Amino acid sequence: MMNCKLLFAISAFVLPALAINNFFGVSTSNSIGGTSSYTCRTQAQWNTLANNAKNAGFKSIRVTGFDCDALERSSAAAAAAGIQVMAGIYVAGSIASAITQINNEVQLFRTAYAKYGAGRYVGLTIGNEVNDSAGNIMAKVYDVRGYLRSVGVTTPVSTVHTWVAIRNDPALCGADFAGANAHAFYDGGRTSGQAGDFVFKTVVPALKAACPGKKIYITESGWPSRGGNLGVAVASLNDERNALLNLNCACRDDRSISVYAFEYDDQNWKGNDNERSFGIFGKFNLLGDVFAPC
Ligand SMILES: *[C@@H]1O[C@H](CO)[C@@H](O)[C@H](O)[C@H]1NC(C)=O
């Protein structure tokens, strides 16, 4: 066997630095990128998405709604690529207004779980920043969790909310994990170079205090490449690159935290240029440039 020091010395000369993606996953929309009308991704487009995510070092994709047959398509694509899905049921209004939809989609999840297996799913989330009381949100989370457990589905269940909402009302992380969206850009007073510190030195300590012992997923963190600035937070392609680079390095600081980069591609159907331009793929050389320093 070759001497380790010698092998290291040779490697240092012949191998380029290995870029590592320290994010856990990437958040996705069910619409294809770059179109002004919401247009469902086809199975082939989900397959491309999952392969691109895998090749860039992401271990999971987050799905934020089951419209567009997205649970089935993303699960099939993730299974083929060998990555996992964080499955999110979307709730547009109050929990009460969405009860039938939620219950129907829990059945879709049960079907997908039986088809693709427990190991395909990181978690199931009921709602993303739902405009309802923590009590109403969590009552439904516990209802769904109890039902799924009774039929043998073991996937961790929670809801996703802003980190501020969870900090202020820890009932929101009372189920199986904390699912928190945390965007340095919108929280104001942060530059792109502070995106990583914002998550790991402000958000994560607050969530650890609010949710002791709970697994923490940062379900969204990213930066826009277009639109207006918010104080010192500048929306530009270079700032988005800088924020992703900075976040990727910060993810090394605490491996117990799983961060989803937001989001796979630009979503031009959204309300303004900031919201439209968090897309990552198609803009950067991720492994060769953005993730290379860490
Ligand atoms: C949230 O719900 C309240 C009523 O329950 C409504 O007045 C308000 O407009 C909603 N906010 C959003 C952003 O939808």
Query: What is the 160 CA–ligand 1 centroid distance (Å)?
Result: 18
Question: How sure is the predictor about 41, in pLDDT bands with cuts at 50, 70 and 90?
Answer: very high
In a domain, 207, yes or no: yes
Contact residues for 254 (Cβ-Cβ < 8 A; gap 6+): 200, 204
pLDDT higher than 50, residue 2: no
What is the tally of structural domains in the chain?
A: 1
Query: What is the 156 CA–ligand 1 centroid distance (Å)?
Result: 29
Query: What is the 22 CA–ligand 1 centroid distance (Å)?
Result: 37
Query: What is the 277 CA–ligand 1 centroid distance (Å)?
Result: 25
Percent of the chain with pLDDT over 90: 92
Query: What is the 60 CA–ligand 1 centroid distance (Å)?
Result: 32
pTM for the model: 0.93
Assess contact for 290 and 245: CB atoms under 8 A: yes
Query: What is the 137 CA–ligand 1 centroid distance (Å)?
Result: 15
Query: What is the 187 CA–ligand 1 centroid distance (Å)?
Result: 21
In a domain, 1, yes or no: no
In a domain, 5, yes or no: no
pLDDT higher than 50, residue 6: no
Q: How many CB atoms lie within 10 A of CB 190?
A: 21
In a domain, 11, yes or no: no
Question: Which tens digit of pLDDT belongs to each residue from 89-144?
Answer: 999 999 999 999 999 999 999 999 999 999 999 999 999 999 999 999 999 999 99
* Domain extent at residue 224: 23-31+39-290
Question: Which tens digit of pLDDT belongs to each residue from 158-201?
Answer: 999 999 999 999 999 999 999 999 999 999 789 999 999 999 99
Contact residues for 7 (Cβ-Cβ < 8 A; gap 6+): none
Query: What is the 190 CA–ligand 1 centroid distance (Å)?
Result: 28
In a domain, 111, yes or no: yes
Percent of the chain with pLDDT over 70: 94
In a domain, 9, yes or no: no
Q: What is the pLDDT of residue 13?
A: 52
Q: What is the CATH number of the domain that holds 186?
A: 3.20.20.80
Q: What is the pLDDT of residue 4?
A: 45
Assess contact for 61 and 78: CB atoms under 8 A: yes
In a domain, 62, yes or no: yes
282: left (phi over 0), alpha (psi -120 to 50) or beta: left
Q: What is the mean pLDDT of residues 211-217?
A: 98
In a domain, 2, yes or no: no
